[in-house]
Amino acid sequence: HLNALMDPLAMSLIFQYDKSTIYLARADVFNQKTMVKFLNYVKILPAFRIKDGFENLGRNAEIFETCKEVLKQKHNLCIMPEGNQEIERNVRPLVKGLFRVAFSAQEETDAEIFIVPIGLDYDDLINFGENLIINIGKPISVKSYKQAYTENPVKTTNELRNKLRNALIELTVHIDTKENYACFETLFNVATESISATNNLEKNPVKKFELRKKIAEKLVQYEKEDEKITENLKELCERYNQISKNL
């Protein structure tokens, strides 16, 4: 979840028009009175987090009941499973609310409910007119986990959460580092632009996306397997950033 309201708006492009789609968004955006009418119009509901006040968490029960009804009526529910928005290009740990809603709805209907992982990749998070990749993964059947969930809800939820997160990692750019993220992002951007220009990939967003994934994976591989190369890259990155700052 990288780009606030643009992410659900992008999702609206791919859903079936004969079905309604309900979205969940962090509750604090509903504090802006000028936004509430728009959010209601595009079918966005609030999801309350601890940072929204512990006393508000109980209000999620009503929201989750609405979400269950949406699924039971065979409409779409769109949730950003990381539970927050960041501009770092990686898949963060997933929150449990998605799975709570999915299993609860599956227990109350004979229809099969699916979780469909979708990865988003923006060429640029700020500038207008850049490319956006919407990458749709293989649906995951919640019904296939129903018996296991009945026997051990915690273990089954964790298994499904790991499966979904791994699927999302395959569908987007995942720079899997904390210590060296700032440096790797700089290297990632420079390498992407350089290789894209050399290989004329600017007019082929899909090929460019595949390149970006390979660059991210290679940088993380260096960090895990070759300390010397990683240190050289960090030194090179520091020099690059200093020269850029001076210019």
pLDDT above 90 as % of the chain: 55
pTM of full prediction above 0.85 = yes
Using an 8 Å Cβ cutoff, are 188 and 114 in contact?
no
**CB count, 10 Å around CB of 171?**
21
- Supply the mean pLDDT for the chain: 89
Q: Give tens-digit pLDDT for 159-198.
A: 999 999 999 999 999 999 999 999 999 999 999 999 999 9
Mean pLDDT, residues 195-220 taken together: 92
DSSP state of 51: G
Q: Give tens-digit pLDDT for 18-36.
A: 778 888 887 877 887 788 8
Rounded Cα distance between 224 and 218, Å, is 10
Mean pLDDT, residues 67-89 taken together: 88
Question: 220: part of which helix (H) or strand (E)?
Answer: helix 205-225
Handedness of CA 180, 182, 186, 188 (dihedral sign): positive
Tokens 């009503």 -> residue: 62
